[in-house]
Structure 1
Amino acid sequence: MFYADVTASTMSDALVVVEDIDRDRQLLDRARSFAAGSDSDLVVLSLVTTDEYEEVAETLDAIGQVEHTTYDEGTILDGLASDVSDLAADVLGEHISYDVRVEVADENQADRIITLADETDCDHIFLPGQRRSPTGKAVFGDRTQRVILDFGGYVTVAMD
């Protein structure tokens, strides 16, 4: 795994964007090292698309029909956050302070990431990158590239 990394001697909090439980374990571990070394808190963010959200909602609706209950938007987002929370607890442990957020966002995910980093006083963002091209060059997706170019703080990109 390759990391494009920028660090500084004084840091505040960091935002960690997770997408894939298995792959992002390493990204969270990198953020854990950062937080431990800089006494920072982490915000762990999972952005899901409307399609992903609706898929979970349909599954819960089917379960609800069997159980004769209903699930609202808050319950669905809490369920999605549970998986991210389990991953964060496993990787970050008890000594790193973190907050987990799950949001539905289809368009302008880069803007949402930057806005949330600003709202939570994060000056460092950890992002998963895209896979390498067949020639071995690092390939940044549009979202990652926009965050790198538009965010006023430090960005660490984990590449496969």
Structure 2
Amino acid sequence: MQRGLVVIDDTETHRNLLEEASRFARNTDAKLILFSWITPEQFEEQLDALATAEETERTSYGEFTAQEAAVQFGEKFAKETLSKMVDDVEYEVVGDVVESDELGSMILDLAEKRGCDHAFIGGQKRSPTGKALFGDITQRVILNFDGLVTTAMD
């Protein structure tokens, strides 16, 4: 692996996935691209929460974009998760605003643009019979990514 793309979200499964990706990267001397995304609706909720906090605290948090919010989350997530690791791993956080139905395409486009040869992405729960169930996004990445894909199940 030369470069891995890790799709992150604020879940324990994604923390475990990032830890696994960082071990992989450390052992192969690879760089990780961490993709943090936010929907327009999630960003609006954050803005509403900040506006309420600003009124209550009589302060200003300034203006920021949804893309900056996604990057900020990704950097915090990476710092918290990777601080437990013994060795440093080279990574870059990329954030963007994405409609949920466009996420699969965005992941594939980003992987291609950044020259990623391995993707790490979360899946869904296993069925009662133990079979892995992949959501539409994970399935699209598995079927269309030109490289290795590692998944982790919720």
TM-score normalised per structure 2: 0.85
1:56-92: per-residue Cα shift (whole Å, max 9, x none)? 1111122233314532216534543343233343255
1:25-62 per-residue CA deviation (whole Å, 9 max, x = no partner) reads: 21011101210111100011122222211111111122
Task: Give the structure 2 partner of residue 72 of structure 1.
Answer: 64
* Structure 2, gaps ≥5 residues long: none
Asked whether the 8 Å contact 2:6–2:33 carries over to 1, the reply is yes
Equivalent position of 1:61 in the other structure: 51
What secondary structure, in the 3-state scheme, does the structure 2 residue paired with 1:122 have? coil
Q: Distance in 2 between matches of 1:78 and 1:36?
A: 23
Matched, 1:134 2:124: no
User: 2: CA distance between counterparts of 1:105 and 1:43?
Assistant: 17
Query: Unpaired runs of 5+ in structure 1?
Result: 1-10
Q: Distance in 1 between matches of 2:96 and 2:76?
A: 14
Q: Which consecutive segments of 4 or more residues in structure 1 shift more than 6 A? A: none
Q: Post-superposition shift, 1:152? A: 0.9
**1:99 matched to which residue of 2?**
92
2:78 to 75, 80, 85: 85
Aligned residues of 1:127 and 1:144 also touching (Cα < 8 A): yes
- Determine the C-alpha separation between the residues in 2 that align with 1:69 and 1:36: 37
Matches within 5 A, 1:1-160: 11-65=1-55, 66-68=58-60, 70-73=62-65, 76-92=69-85, 95-106=88-99, 107-160=101-154
CA RMSD in angstroms comes to 2.0
Which fold has the larger relative contact order, with Cα–Cα distance below 8 Å and residues 6 or more apart in sequence?
1
For the Cα contact (< 8 Å) 2:142–2:149, is it kept in 1? yes
Taking the aligned partners of 2:60 and 2:2, their CA distance within structure 1 comes to 47
- Report the CA distance shift for 1:93/1:104 in structure 2 as closer, same or farther (over 3 A): farther
Q: Which amino acid aligns with 1:119?
A: K
User: Taking structure 1 as reference, are residues 79 and 59 closer, same or farther at Cα in structure 2, changes over 3 Å only?
Assistant: farther
* TM-score normalised by the chain length of structure 1: 0.82
- 2:120 is paired with a residue whose SS is strand
